[in-house]
Copies of this chain bind each other. A is one copy, B any other.
Amino acid sequence: MKVFWAELSRDLLLAYRRKGDLLNPLLFFVMVLALFPLGVSPAPDFLSQLAPGVLWVAALLAALLSLDNLFKSDFEDGTLEQLLLSSESTYPIALAKALVHWLTTGLPLALLAPLLAVMLFLPSHAIPTLVVSLLIGTPTLSLIGAIASALTVGLKKGGVLISLLVIPLYIPVLIFGASAVQNATQHLPVQAYLAILGSMLALSIVLAPFAIAASLRVSVSS
């Protein structure tokens, strides 16, 4: 537990030091969403049909893009090595890393989503479902993403490779998340979808940190 807090507070402090960077995933989210009315069509009906999927796709891409730096800087300055030489277990450290990622991307995204939903003409009764689905779904994205990030940390060209590894694993989350919002726009039940998202989250909280820790060991020992 102590290492969990140590890691969490260090990484949050680092994030706070570069306050500007905290805004980046958010701004990216906003911009990707802004590309659609520009690139596709500005018609409200069309956009409102598009909204559930596009909001989720943009959230996914924003989470994806910030993965690259999750372990990279620790790897490069050698602090990752030192983490793995800690006498404490690596599980809490891995969990803390994924949590920081979520706190700095998924959470603010979910909180900002209602605003953007309005801009994309998503029916307002679907907004609570949007927020809840993002709140349950994005932590899974962070956890899975952290695995891929840990796997690729030792490699030079991480950026695009991570996307490649991660997108197939993100797709189930995307499908259930977007379907939930889609159903909500049509006043259909959403509990089943949210429950599936929840169980994915539970599963990844339990298993992902092990995979993260193991991947980190491999990446460092090469």
Binding site for B on A (CB under 8 A): 18, 20-21, 24-25, 27-28, 31-32, 34-36, 38-41, 46, 49-50, 52-54, 56-57, 60-61, 65-66, 68-69, 73, 76, 156-157, 159-161, 163-164, 167-168, 171, 174-175, 178
Find chain B residues with CB under 8 A from A24 CB. 157, 159-161, 163-164
Number of chain copies forming the complex: 2
Which 7 A-B pairs have CB atoms at the shortest separation, nearest pair first? A40-B53, A24-B160, A39-B53, A39-B178, A31-B167, A21-B157, A39-B57
Q: Establish whether residues B163 and A65, one from each chain, have CB atoms under 8 Å apart when the complex forms.
A: yes
Q: Which of B56, B76, B164 contacts A31 (CB 8 A)?
A: B164
Nearest-neighbour CB distance to chain B for A149, whole angstroms, equals 12
Complex Cα spacing A24 to B178, Å: 26
Nearest-neighbour CB distance to chain B for A30, whole angstroms, equals 9
Q: Which of B31, B69, B160, B171 contacts A21 (CB 8 A)?
A: B160
Instruction: Across the interface, name the chain B residue whose C-beta is closest to A156.
Output: B73
Whether A21 contacts B57 in the complex (CB less than 8 A), given A38-B174, A171-B35, A178-B38, comes out as no
Instruction: Across the interface, name the chain B residue whose C-beta is closest to A182.
Output: B41
Could you name 14 residue pairs across A and B whose Cβ atoms are closer than 8 Å? A18-B157, A21-B160, A24-B157, A24-B159, A28-B164, A38-B174, A39-B175, A40-B50, A40-B52, A40-B54, A40-B178, A68-B68, A69-B156, A73-B156
Q: Establish whether residues A35 and B18, one from each chain, have CB atoms under 8 Å apart when the complex forms.
A: no
Q: Which of B38, B76, B174 contacts A35 (CB 8 A)?
A: B174
Most B CB within 10 A of own CB, among A18, A25, A57, A159: A159
Q: Establish whether residues B35 and A167, one from each chain, have CB atoms under 8 Å apart when the complex forms.
A: yes
Nearest-neighbour CB distance to chain B for A77, whole angstroms, equals 10
